[in-house]
Amino acid sequence: MLARSAAGVGHLTLNRPRAINALDDEMITQIRAALDAWRDDADVQSVLLDGAGERGLCAGGDVRALYDQVRAGQLDLVAGFFQNEYTMNAQIAEYRHPIVALADGVTMGGGIGLAGHAAVRVVTERSKLAMPETRIGFTPDVGGTWLLGRAPGRVGEFLATTCATMDAADAVYAGFADHLVPSAHLGDLRDALQTRADPGGPSELVLLFDETPETSNLERWRGWIDECFAADTVPEIIDRLHAAGDPEATATAERMTDLAPTGMAVTLESVRRARAASGLREVLVQEYGLVMWFATTQPDLVEGIRAQLVDKDRTPRWNPATPAEVPAATIADAFAFVPERPLWQD
């Protein structure tokens, strides 16, 4: 993690380019410390957040470390990581100075927790945004369900359950980004933020480089997305997708057969509850309970990470194996789970 300030701008650069800047506990602690230091610094009026390398801002959290900790029964370490990360997510959302996040390239999972809650969220033609947690037997977190619950129509349910990847136009349409800036202009944008070209505020400066995105695929697909993802359960959603008569809907149904049944069921309910929540902190508490429920009780989490990132055989053995086999009681148990350690420490 690189943290420096100059000309009124604090500059945070995630610096693990070989891992697409995946977040570990030390990086999160460093981000929090820098933001704490700049919060009351009269010489800092805004913060720029970006990632080293050409591949992306942040590929997510260090799920391999999560895998090792869950397998070793180190649930205190698991809880500590999420407490640290979610505190950072809230800190970004509530920060007194505007944070400009450059979500250039891959920005997924924990990367959404960094960029998605910033005051000014920039994407480029290279951006790939997603909440891909149901692929590893998990559920979207880092305040992602707060954003998903506020996406147009049923787009949030679609993105959350299917791990669909957004391009720049999709991200702006779904409310995960504010501006599209061509990657060739990012250097000029960084320079403008520090040289205080007129107009002076970060939002106005970004507009100097902003381009109007093309029509989003999500917008084009809203008809079948809203119809299918309004269904009460994942099996009903899949049935509606097959009956929709749209090739993209059919392909979505087929992709869902590879994802974690329990993860999708819990995620569907999580987005819907987040939609009714009063604020980000309330949603983070809900997400924290769910991630600790998965880590404490669900073998799918370890199995999903094993299949995707450890053995890389891409053939997870989910339990239960199909969406139709997930009992309603399982979903109720997930939301009733109370972690041993509360999220917010006094």
Candidates 62, 85, 141, 269; catalytic one: 141
Type and span of the H or E element at 101: strand 99-103
Pairwise CA distance, residues 334 & 262, whole Å = 10
The residue among 33, 6, 45 whose CA lies nearest residue 203 is 45
What is the token pair recorded at 308? Answer: 């995707």
Candidates 10, 56, 60, 61; catalytic one: 61
| 110 assigned to active site | yes
- Which ranges in the chain belong to alpha helices (H)? 25-39, 63-71, 75-93, 110-115, 144-148, 155-162, 168-174, 186-195, 202-207, 217-220, 222-228, 234-243, 247-256, 261-275, 280-297, 299-305, 328-336
Type and span of the H or E element at 9: strand 9-14
In DSSP notation, 121-177 reads EEE-TT-EEE--GGGGT----TTHHHHHTTSSTTHHHHHHHH-PPB-HHHHHHHTS-
Candidates 50, 133, 170, 269; catalytic one: 133
Instruction: Round to the nearest angstrom and report the end-to-end CA distance of the chain.
Output: 28
Pairwise CA distance, residues 45 & 200, whole Å = 11
| 61 assigned to active site | yes
Candidates 10, 110, 143, 144; catalytic one: 110
| 116 assigned to active site | no
| 227 assigned to active site | no
Residues acting as catalytic residues: 61, 110, 133, 141
